Amino acid sequence: MTNFRIITRYAFAAALVGGLGFTPGASAEGVSRVELMASQCNSCHGINGAGAKPNPSIAGENKEDFLDLMQAFASGDEPTSIMDRHAQGYTEAELKMLAEYYSKQ
């Protein structure tokens, strides 16, 4: 009987610790807005933008060049197969966030 009580106490404690350690949604809250935006890009440009053939690497690009290129894609000044559609989907502030983010990858 005593053993049973100890076992149930441990089981309760383990469930509590397990419950705290595994909180659904914790990882979603831990993802920043720029990481969420970048996850769209990484689907083509590889993990952290490191490149995934045949798509070019966008990691470590100079942030001014990155922003110029994205704006040129959006305006049509820079011919592109697909990037015009992606570049047009973001505000200037968001493109700056992405430029900053990828310059540090």
Site for ligand HEC, rule CB under 6 A: 40-41, 43-45, 55-56, 58, 66, 69-70, 80-83, 86, 98
Nearer to ligand HEC, 25 or 54 (CB): 54
Q: How far is the CB of 67 from ligand HEC (least distance, A)?
A: 9
Neighbours of 59 (CB within 10 A): 18
Q: Judged by CB, which is closer to ligand HEC: 8, or 43? A: 43
| Minimum distance of ligand HEC from residue 7's CB (angstroms) | 53
Q: Which of 79, 95, 78, 91 is nearest to 41 (CA)?
A: 95
d(CA 35, CA 88): 18
Shortest reach from residue 93's CB to ligand HEC, in Å = 13
C-alpha distances in Å from residue 34, one per residue of 22, 48, 77: 25, 12, 25
CB 71 → ligand HEC: shortest distance, Å?
Answer: 11
How far are the Cα atoms of 5, 9, 55, 104 from residue 1, in angstroms, in the given order?
6, 13, 66, 60
Complex with ligand HEC: residue 13 or 60, whichever CB lies closer: 60
